[in-house]
Amino acid sequence: MRLKLLGSGNAAGMPLYGCACEVCIEASANRRLQRTPCSAQLEIDGRTYLLDAGQMNLTQQFPAGSLDGILLTHFHVDHVQGLFHLRWGVGEEIPVYCPEDGEGCADLYKHPGILRFHAQQAYVPFVLEGGQVTPLSLNHSKPTLGYLIAWQNAQIAYLTDTKGLPPKTAELLGRQKLDLMVIDCSLMPGCDHPGHNNLDDALVLHKAIRPRRSVLTHIGHDLDIWLKANPQALPDNLSVGHDEQLVYPIV
C-alpha cells in the first residue's frame, strides 16, 4: 500500500491568486511550494484509487484505464471539480465511493457519465482490493466521510474536511494502531472555522489518536505564512504535507 498526496491545499491554494506576499512569490516560482486541491493517490495491491478528485487535470494525470476508483470525502467543489470533465469519457465505469448527499455538486448526479456513485454508510466497512475501508463521519458543512484504510498490517486514516472529530470517529480511531493520520489543518492557531481544523485542533487530535505519524493537509495561505515564521512549532512525528509527497510508506 502506498499513499501519495496529489494536492495539499485548500480551495484557494498556494500561491493565492493575486497575492504578492513573500510566501506566495516564492511558491509562484517553485512547484514544490505550491498547493493544489487537497487529494491523494492510494495504491493498494497494484490498483490505483483517488482520495478526492479536485485536481483540475485528472484526465491528464490519469490516462483512461489507470484509475480503478475514487473515494470522495464530500461534494464540495474543490474536492470533485476534476470529475466535471473526466465523467464524459468512454469505456469502463469508474466506481466512486462517497457519502450520502442528496445534492451532490452541480450536475454530477444528473450527468454521471462513466462515474458510478456508491453512497457509503459511516462505520460500515467495505472491501477494497483485499484491504478494508471504513468510512468515518467527520464534522463539516456537508455530509463528509474520512476513510480508515487497513491493508495487511498497515492502517492509515485520511481525515478531511473536518473541525475536530465526532466522538464516535475519535473513539474508533483511538482504538487503532494507526501508522499514519492525514488530517485537515487549514488554519493557523487561534483562527477558528466551523468546518476546518486550525493547528491547535490538529495537535489535540494528534495527541488523542496517537498515530505513528501525522501529516497535515488542506493547508491554507495564512497557515503557510505562520509556519514559515514558526518553523519549530511541530512535534517530531507530525509534519506539514506537500503536493506530490509520498506519505506512506514512511521514508
Contact between 250 and a copy of itself (CB under 8 A)? no
Q: Which residue from 21, 48, 50 is spatially nearest to 33, judged by alpha carbons?
A: 21
Contact between 190 and a copy of itself (CB under 8 A)? no
Q: Which residues contact 242 (CB under 8 A, 6 or more apart)?
A: 5, 8, 32, 33, 35
Q: Which residues contact 158 (CB under 8 A, 6 or more apart)?
A: 3, 40, 51, 71, 73, 146, 147, 149, 182
- Of the pair 104, 166, the CB lying nearest a copy of itself is at 104
Residue appearing with cell numbers 487549514: 186
Contact between 19 and a copy of itself (CB under 8 A)? yes
- Of the pair 88, 126, the CB lying nearest a copy of itself is at 88
- Of the pair 90, 127, the CB lying nearest a copy of itself is at 90
Cell of 20: 504578492
Report the C-alpha gap between 176 and 209 in whole angstroms. Answer: 8
Contacts with a copy of itself in 36-75 (CB under 8 A)? Answer: 37, 56-57, 59, 64-65
Contact between 187 and a copy of itself (CB under 8 A)? no
Report the C-alpha gap between 146 and 114 in whole angstroms. Answer: 24
- Of the pair 81, 144, the CB lying nearest a copy of itself is at 81
Contact between 30 and a copy of itself (CB under 8 A)? no
Using CB under 8 A, list all residues that contact a copy of itself: 11-13, 16-19, 37, 56-57, 59, 64-65, 76-78, 81, 84-86, 88-92, 105-107, 114
